[in-house]
Amino acid sequence: MDIAESVITMDALHTQRETARHLREHDAHYVFTVKANQPALLTACHQ
């Protein structure tokens, strides 16, 4: 499936560096959910 230029949404379970890297390698854009189980990422998002 060609996902180039697509916007992919995922829940917090898939909010991982490797997932983001894979999507960018395929020229896709993404929107991830961030929850408190990743406190450093959540803090960075709030800044």
Contact yes or no for 17/40 (Cβ under 8 A):
no
Write the DSSP string, 27-43. Answer: T-EEEE---TTSHHHHH
Summarised one tens digit per residue, pLDDT across range 19-34 is: 999 999 999 999 999 9
Contact yes or no for 8/30 (Cβ under 8 A):
yes
Contact yes or no for 26/4 (Cβ under 8 A):
yes
Summarised one tens digit per residue, pLDDT across range 1-20 is: 999 999 999 999 999 999 99
What is the SS3 assignment for 10? strand
Residue 7: which H helix or E strand, with range?
Answer: strand 7-10
pLDDT band at residue 35 under the 50/70/90 scheme: very high
Say what the pTM is.
0.81
